[in-house]
Amino acid sequence: MPSAKGRAPVLSRNVTIPVLNASLTSEPSPVHVWFWRTDFEESRCAELARLLSPAERAAAERFRFPRDRARSVISHAGLRLLLAGYLNLPPESVAFTVEGAGKPRLAAPGAISFNLSHSGVYAAAVVSRGRNVGIDIEEIRPNVAWRDIAGRFFSAEEAVWLDSMPEPESFFRLWTAKEAVLKAAGTGLTAPLDRIRVRPGEDAPPWNLRELDLAPGYAATLAFDGPPAQPEVRLLTGL
Ligand SMILES: CC(C)(COP(=O)(O)OP(=O)(O)OC[C@H]1O[C@@H](n2cnc3c(N)ncnc32)[C@H](O)[C@@H]1OP(=O)(O)O)[C@@H](O)C(=O)NCCC(=O)NCCS
């Protein structure tokens, strides 16, 4: 199994592959969470865009606002740099396939699994081996019509829990838990949201759920199957 441990950085078109000092070799597989800022200046964004595939660049170009384009570019560049570190490949060579409901996976055979999420000025990714993984990060926005959304998509038990907790954080905690499960399963929002019953801070078998405290003003949840594990959380720097 490839290991990123102790490897020297490789220079690639003005971009250095971060030394991850992270390995997925132990059993059961560790669960690694990485997060990074996505609010870089345009010149850096243009450099990092060179790491992306034409399809990723085209997807970023479809955003109307420069801020959203930058977030898409930096999220995908960060993910490529991370996966390059684990796979010992140049970031441009990391190849993806997409499942029916849109979940990206690595095209190369092997058991490394990952999932990406982005919101506000942060991106977060989970990387593991031989597990289905999903992650969701959301900026806590007080102006979201969260009561309406909860009424439409949450179960009666979830609505009761929500009413007993401080708002709007509790909505985002619940929402990220649901979305992390749906992303781990690969169905995304094509599956009915009320079919997944979650309670923040508790597992939702077969899914292990872990709330992540990544940055003030953000809620994030990680879902993974297989044996329980304590996620190792790191800030990805040097982009
Ligand atoms: C996936 C989905 C849950 C994303 O929710 P979100 O909160 O807006 O976005 P996040 O930042 O958390 O995650 C986005 C990332 O999840 C990944 N992703 C996309 N579809 C996914 C899926 N079905 N399962 C897991 N991960 C998925 C991608 O890496 C995506 O990154 P990108 O948008 O930059 O390419 C939502 O867009 C969805 O359900 N999509 C599937 C439904 C759909 O429209 N399918 C179209 C083909 S049938």
Kindly report, residue by residue over 39-67, the tens digit of the pLDDT.
988 888 999 999 999 999 999 999 999 89
Read off the pLDDT of each residue in 15-42 and give the average, rounded to a whole number: 86
For the chain, percent of residues with pLDDT exceeding 70: 92
pLDDT tens-digit series, residues 131-175: 999 999 999 998 888 888 888 888 888 888 888 887 789 999 999
CA 188 / ligand 1 centre spacing (Å)? 6
Alpha helices by DSSP H, listed for 130-205, are 146-153, 156-163, 169-185
From the list 9, 36, 38, the residue with the least C-alpha distance to 21 is: 9
Q: Is residue 74 part of a domain?
A: yes
Residue 142 DSSP one-character state: T
Instruction: Indicate whether residue 32 lines ligand 1 (CB < 6 A).
Output: no
pLDDT score of 114: 98
On whether the CB atoms of residues 84 and 125 are closer than 8 A, the answer is no
State the residue range of the domain holding 89. 30-235
CA dist., res. 93 & res. 138, Å (int): 29
Instruction: Indicate whether residue 103 lines ligand 1 (CB < 6 A).
Output: yes
Q: Is residue 5 part of a domain?
A: no
pLDDT score of 19: 67
Instruction: Indicate whether residue 136 lines ligand 1 (CB < 6 A).
Output: yes
Is residue 219's pLDDT more than 80?
Answer: yes
Q: Which atom of ligand 1 is nearest to the CA of 118?
A: 11
Distances (CA, A) of 180 to 45, 51, 193, 224: 27, 27, 11, 9
Q: Is residue 23 part of a domain?
A: no
pLDDT score of 14: 62
pLDDT score of 11: 42
Q: What is the CATH number of the domain that holds 40?
A: 3.90.470.20
From the list 72, 77, 58, the residue with the least C-alpha distance to 13 is: 77
In a 10 Å sphere around its CB, with 0-12 CB exposed, 13-18 middle and 19+ buried, how is residue 145 labelled? exposed
Confidence at 9, pLDDT banded by 50, 70, 90: very low
CA 10 / ligand 1 centre spacing (Å)? 30
Is residue 2's pLDDT more than 50?
Answer: no
From the list 86, 88, 60, 62, the residue with the least C-alpha distance to 75 is: 60
Q: How far is CA 8 from the centre of its chain?
A: 25
Using CA positions, which residue lies closest to atom 47 of ligand 1? 101
In a 10 Å sphere around its CB, with 0-12 CB exposed, 13-18 middle and 19+ buried, how is residue 201 labelled? exposed
CA 51 / ligand 1 centre spacing (Å)? 21
Q: Is residue 62 part of a domain?
A: yes
Q: Which atom of ligand 1 is nearest to the CA of 188?
A: 39
Is residue 225's pLDDT more than 80?
Answer: yes
From the list 39, 50, 40, the residue with the least C-alpha distance to 15 is: 50
Q: Is residue 119 part of a domain?
A: yes
pLDDT score of 1: 45
Q: Is residue 4 part of a domain?
A: no
* Among 72, 116, 153, residue to substitute to test ligand 1 (most atoms within 8 Å of Cβ): 116
Highest-scoring range by mean pLDDT, 16-25, 157-166, 221-230: 221-230
Cα-only R_g, the chain: 18
Q: Is residue 17 part of a domain?
A: no
Q: Which atom of ligand 1 is nearest to the CA of 138?
A: 7
Q: How many domains does the chain have?
A: 1
Q: Which atom of ligand 1 is nearest to the CA of 76?
A: 34
CA dist., res. 116 & res. 136, Å (int): 8
Q: Is residue 186 part of a domain?
A: yes
